[in-house]
Structure 1
Amino acid sequence: MTPLPDPPEAPPPRIDEDDRDAAVRRLQEAYSEELISHEELESRLHQVLTAKAHGELASALAALPAEHPGTASTIAVISGRIRRRGAWRVPRNLKVESAFGKVRLDLSRAVIEHPVVDIELQLGTGGARITVPRDAVVDVEGLRTTWKDLRYKAPRGTHPGGPKIRISGALGYGRLQIRHARR
């Protein structure tokens, strides 16, 4: 009996825009911290912008230090209120956990240093209200609601240049309201 030929290899997963943006940002940070020269920045940027596979992105970022600490944070309470407003620094990844209580996150005047911010909500009962900058792009594809629905209406006109806010996680018995700041 002749052996069957090997099945064709699956194509590598495509690089999405967020991965490419994150790689460009890391290279720019390395250059601003004088870890790489201008010529090396240009060469690596070209490699990132023309990469077709994740391995090519990884080789462009080889020998760079890891991202800054403090790019992830967790806010957790059993009961009570979680409130952030004013000029607070928003981490790259923010996890918010609350068994009972209300969550109020106002990002309209916050310091957002990352082009993409991931907010993971793990809420039992109680609602959440998130105010995003006027020019933010909001993605709620990764969010699951159990009892009440999500209240979010994307603005009519787009304002380019704002951060992308990705909201994921799960809400038990509460409602999530997302609104864009007016200014």
Structure 2
Amino acid sequence: MTAQPPEPSPRPAPSGQFRASHDDREAVVERLRDAAAEGRIDLDELDSRLEQALTSKTHAELAALTADLPKPHSSASQPPLVLRGGLHGASRGPGRWEVPGHVIAHGGMGGVKLDFTRVECNLPEVTVEAYGEAAGVTIVLPDGWAADTSGMDPGLGGLTDKTTPDRRPGTPLIRLTGSGGMAGVVIRHPNRWERRRLERHPRQG
């Protein structure tokens, strides 16, 4: 009896033809909304792309909707920036510095100051985990940046939020968590002295 040749196994579908899941579609919807907030696409185009995203059946169809948009920065691979006030204090800024997706500040005995006024940050969101401890943490945001402080425990020292809710398109949302500790946490825009310094030394390039 002649052996029959094995039937060929089905060819795998190209990755772009894999069926899209609800999570895949939702991820594209979020990217499109971020792009509209940054001014990359107008509201009419956003509505059109959102409708296509919600009805897309494959990865290829979803990929076409974001092909002309910059890839989101991946902050997951970056370790968090950790600042410890210790006895003498610590600060980052007001010069340029690379902002990761997660910053942890421990006020310690000397305090910590985080100054974002000179940075360029393309992340949609930055988590700042602040612990006021004995000397406190101060966070300075540029005008046009906004903060969500709902996840912050004020502790004994309290939380002082002097930021405005008006978020300029293309700027990150600072999501503040942690605890005020004994000395508290302050988040604000530049004060008068800091504004004068910024005007005297405008950012170059």
Q: TM-score, normalised by structure 2?
A: 0.54
Instruction: Describe the SS at the equivalent of 2:148.
Output: strand
The aligned counterpart of 1:142 is 151
Check if 1:176 corresponds to 2:176: no
Q: TM-score, normalised by structure 1?
A: 0.60
How far residue 46 of structure 1 moved from its aligned partner, in angstroms, is 5.3
The aligned counterpart of 1:73 is 81
The answer to whether the 8 Å contact 1:92/1:117 transfers is yes
Check if 1:99 corresponds to 2:108: yes
The one-letter code of the counterpart of 2:31 is V
Identical-pair percentage? 24
- Determine the C-alpha separation between the residues in 2 that align with 1:22 and 1:78: 43
How far residue 157 of structure 1 moved from its aligned partner, in angstroms, is 5.1
Instruction: Describe the SS at the equivalent of 1:78.
Output: coil
Aligned length: 136
Larger radius of gyration: 2
Of 78, 82, 88, the residue aligned with 2:90 is 82
Instruction: Describe the SS at the equivalent of 2:179.
Output: strand
- Provide runs of 4+ in structure 1 moved above 6 Å: none
Structure 1 residue runs without a partner (length 5+): 1-14, 29-39, 48-65
Over the residues paired in the alignment, what is the CA RMSD in angstroms?
Answer: 3.5
More strand by share: 1
Of 13, 21, 24, the residue aligned with 2:31 is 24
The aligned counterpart of 1:43 is 62
Distance 1:156 1:171, change over 3 A: closer
- Determine the C-alpha separation between the residues in 2 that align with 1:82 and 1:21: 39
The answer to whether the 8 Å contact 2:103/2:128 transfers is yes
- Determine the C-alpha separation between the residues in 1 that align with 2:76 and 2:88: 31
- Determine the C-alpha separation between the residues in 1 that align with 2:28 and 2:85: 33
The answer to whether the 8 Å contact 1:79/1:98 transfers is no
The one-letter code of the counterpart of 2:87 is S
The one-letter code of the counterpart of 2:142 is P
- 1:22-46 Cα offsets, whole Å, 9 max, x none, are 9739xx9xxxxxxxxxxx6762475
The aligned counterpart of 2:120 is 111
Instruction: Describe the SS at the equivalent of 1:141.
Output: strand
Distance 1:93 1:67, change over 3 A: closer
